[in-house]
Chain A
Amino acid sequence: MKVTIKSWTGVATWRWIANDDNCGICRMPFDSCCPDCKLPGDECPLVWGACSHCFHIHCIVKWLHSQPQQQCPMCRQDWKFNNK
């Protein structure tokens, strides 16, 4: 007997490689989207700060806009985007 595979369709789920499950600002899972977004993933990406904390980009931008000083909401260090 000979078995030939013609095509294989697998199923996978994607997830962010991050050191936490939930966004520290909106408390939603990273793999979901921030409360303002409808679609997860590309449309609601994560950003990492220099302090290694990460958030939904929309959440952190909103946070930074509302603050006089640009600090990470988790560790109070100055916020810098870490473009790795």
Chain B
Amino acid sequence: MASSRDELKIYWNKIYYAFPILNDMLFTDCSDEEYQEIQEIIIGLGIQIKIRDLVLVHIEKYLRQHVAPSFWAKFIKVEEEVKGFQLFKSAVNDLYESLKNFSPILNKLNTLNNCCGDNKPIFGERDVLMGFKQLLRATLLSQLPLDFPVIINHFYKISFNVFDNEYENSEMPDDIMCSGCWNESIDCNCAYIVKIFHDTNRKLVELQLLERLTGQVLTNFIQLRIESHIQKVCAGTFDVSHIGFLENWLDTTVMSWLTRIYCAGSSKPQPDNHIVLNAISKFKQKLSYFLYHSYTKLRIDQLFNIVIDYPDSQAAVDDIKLCLDKTDLRSTLCKKLQNALETRLLHPGVNTTDILTAYISTIRALRHLDPSGVILETVTKPVRSYLRNREDTVRSVVSSLTEEGAGSELAEELVKFAVDNDNENDKEEDWDEWEPDPVDADPKVNSCDRKASDIISMLVNVYGSKELFVNEYRTLLADRLLGQSVINTEKEIRYLELLKLRFGESQLHFCEVMLRDVSDSKRLNALIQQDRNFESLNSKFSSNAMILSAQFWPPFKDESLELPEEIKQHFEAYTKCYETLKGNRTLSWKPHLGNVNIEIEIGTKKLDLIVSPFNATLIMHFQNKPEWSLEELHQVMKVPITILRRKITYWQSLGIITEKTTDNYALVDGSEASKPSGSRNQVQDMICEDEETESVMASAHDQREGELQVFWSYIVGMLTNLDSLPLERIHQMLKMFASQAPGTECSLQELRQFLDTKVRTHQLILQAGMYKLPKT
């Protein structure tokens, strides 16, 4: 028994000798022959499996207690990149060296394992070496410290700089500073860094630690680099397409660097190394997605500026278009652009014309970006609803529609439409190019409508009806026709023809009559001037008239004005001539409309002015009597005092009339008139300018109110018969009964507002959504 015990002790010592790891040591003098002997003993005892497992346990313990802590001990938070670089390098080196020391033990264990024959997997792997690596990884990663990415990051940053430098700045090597390693060129470290870098990577690959240890850090790092590179390349310029350059950059600089990491220095992976190839291609997919993603994001942030600059920024829009297909940023784009529009455009500080210009270029840019029009529809929704609330929108649109010269995009658009209109018929033939609507499309809207609507109709659609536009155009036209002394009828007719193409003949019929009135008046004037009765009157000054067809012009503002006697005579004579020329017709004059060319002589100064009839009358009164009180003026001119007071500023600003005492005005004599007081003058100028440009037409709002009033009798009739009705029913019935004349088209919203005002004035009662007449 004792001898066998001694024997066992000897055997045990021998096993210790072969596997020093059991004593937490790595080195032994045990040669291969000696080991063969010992192994035979082990096998003889039949404990090979037990020994193998025991050794494995001890290896694990050793790794856990010595290797891993000493490895991780190097991973501390350091600020300097170079120090980090060195630390990581030495950590990997040390690890590599210490693992080298395991190789004799592992060899022995491998032979022992081969004798076990139980096919038991070692840490999930088939052979000892693989199992060991697995164990190593597990052990290392189980003790991962918090700050481990710091020095890895430093390491890769430095090496990437060197590579980036190699690729990009190879043509200017004579720099004082090497931009790769930031040393002076003379003691440039680049070569050394490259060598260390490849060395370290090779070791990591060998240990199969590369992916685990550095994958995340690498990804983060490269993503950062991509982002900063994009920022650097694309800041502020929209007129160049960058996506090609970026793809190229990713392919050359970034990917070849990655390849070198994975392939330990060679720039081409071995074609049969599938693991590496796989890893690289996966990395590439990930990175190019990231490239597109961050590029698109950057562009989306700048999208407002891009849109405003369109079409100069077409290249950028093309880029976004390309990237949107590869990323899922559509909804982000919509949201961001919408926000940008809202914060930068849709507030009271922006002129309506500017909003319109921005809206137009948004339409253009987004049309290009997304031909289906879905993005456009979503993004511009707030713009549309905002424009709807601005009072001068229609006016701005209409005036820019008819504006002459460059800068008026809408006018160009109008002309373009006339040209485009002819080739619209072949649309049906493109059926094989049909594409479904994007998922975010509003299913209620027909995709054809979305695509077909052009800029002008988008603007018109802000209001949902052509009526308002046409009406506004009519008012504007009326203002222009009456305000100008020389009327360019040809130009107006040309625009009218263009507008007719767009809005239809019937809508613009009224305007046609207006233009014809103007040209007819010219002819009539010429005819009447030849009349003998009129000639004698005309010797002093010529009087002309514009004869309007009242039914076709927008309603005029009602203003009274008593003209001087001699003018009235002229008008009477004119009317007489007219009556003889056109049987059964007569004229009613609008004394406050028109314009007068007068010459004023004060002392030596002569002023040649074109003024309104009001101003002419006023100054003529002053000619007869140099001092007037407002009350007196009111008596002779039949104009309300408030208006008189406001309008007399025109002559005050010219320095011809001055307010002597409150409400008493007097003519300024020649000597004073030549030096009007400066600052006061400017203020006055502003006032009178305002006044002069004021429209002679009743405002659109007043007109509308009047038009809606037409419905009131219908509504009362309805409610008397049917007791109470909801808003929708009233709207429907109105549509049925009262929808002939232009301007009587009435939206549900308008009707509600109208009815609400009636409710407020107690002419209606609103009960549970039903309108009712109050019981009397």
Contacts and interface: CB of A to CB of B under 8 A. Distances in A.
A6 B590 CA distance: 20
Most chain B beta carbons < 10 A, residue from A8, A29, A42, A48: A8
A32 B741 CA distance: 12
Contacts of B594: 8-11
12 contacts: A1-B602, A2-B600, A3-B620, A8-B543, A8-B597, A9-B594, A10-B594, A11-B593, A14-B549, A17-B584, A31-B551, A39-B512
Given A10-B591, A11-B482, A1 B548 contact: no
A9 B551 contact: no
A64 B543 CA distance: 43
A67 interface: no
A15 B543 CA distance: 21
B542 A46 contact: no
Interface size class of A (residues with CB under 8 A): 20 to 34
B582 interface: yes
Given A12-B548, A15-B588, A3 B619 contact: yes
Contacts of A9: 485, 543-546, 594-596
B588 A38 contact: no
Contacts of B216: none
B587 interface: yes
Contacts of B567: 8, 10
Interface residues of B, number: 57
A10 B543 contact: yes
B513 interface: yes
Most chain A beta carbons < 10 A, residue from B541, B575, B626: B541
A5 B667 contact: no
Secondary structure type dominating chain B contacts:
mixed
A15 to B, nearest CB: 6
Given A3-B599, A8-B616, A9-B543, A16 B585 contact: yes
Contact of A8 (B544, B601, B602): B544
A66 interface: no
Contacts of B512: 38-39
B545 A7 contact: no
Nearest to A83: B583
B509 interface: yes
Nearest to B595: A9
Interface string B11-36: 00000000000000000000000000
A18 interface: yes
Contacts of B520: 41
Interface of B: 482, 485, 509, 512-513, 516, 520, 540-553, 567, 570-571, 574-575, 578, 582, 584-591, 593-602, 608, 613, 616, 619-620, 622-623, 626, 656, 667, 670
Contacts of A5: 540-541, 596-598, 616, 620
A41 B547 CA distance: 11
A70 B64 CA distance: 123
Nearest to A40: B549
Contacts of B544: 7-10
A12 B623 contact: no
A15 B601 CA distance: 39
Nearest to B590: A11
A7 B623 contact: no
Contacts of B553: 13
B368 to A, nearest CB: 41
A76 B123 CA distance: 118
Given A6-B608, A13-B547, 14 more contacts: A1-B670, A2-B600, A3-B599, A4-B601, A10-B574, A10-B594, A11-B482, A12-B546, A13-B548, A13-B587, A14-B550, A31-B549, A38-B509, A39-B516
A9 B622 CA distance: 21
Contact of A11 (B578, B582, B589): B589
A11 to B, nearest CB: 4
A15 B585 contact: yes
Interface string A24-36: 0000010110000
A7 B571 contact: no
Contact of B588 (A12, A32, A42): A12
A31 B575 CA distance: 17
Contact of B589 (A10, A17, A18): A10
B545 A11 contact: yes
B541 to A, nearest CB: 4
B601 A1 contact: yes
A14 B595 contact: no
B551 A32 contact: yes
Contacts of B551: 29, 31-32, 40
Contact of B541 (A2, A6, A11, A29): A6
Given A4-B601, A10-B544, A11-B593, A41 B549 contact: yes
Nearest to B567: A8
A10 to B, nearest CB: 5
A18 B544 CA distance: 26
Nearest to A47: B584
B596 A7 contact: yes
Nearest to B601: A2
B559 to A, nearest CB: 12
A1 B674 CA distance: 13
Given A1-B622, A1-B656, A13-B588, A6 B598 contact: yes
B719 to A, nearest CB: 25
A67 to B, nearest CB: 25
A17 B588 CA distance: 11
B8 to A, nearest CB: 126
A6 B600 CA distance: 10
Contacts of B591: 10
Given A2-B623, A3-B623, A9-B485, A14 B596 contact: no
B617 to A, nearest CB: 10
Q: Which 10 A-B pairs have the closest CB atoms?
A: A11-B593, A13-B550, A32-B551, A12-B587, A6-B597, A5-B541, A2-B601, A4-B599, A12-B589, A10-B594
A29 B575 CA distance: 22
A13 B656 CA distance: 34
A22 B67 CA distance: 109
Most chain A beta carbons < 10 A, residue from B541, B584, B587: B584
Nearest to A13: B550
A1 B667 contact: yes
Given A18-B584, A40-B513, A12 B590 contact: yes
Nearest to A42: B582
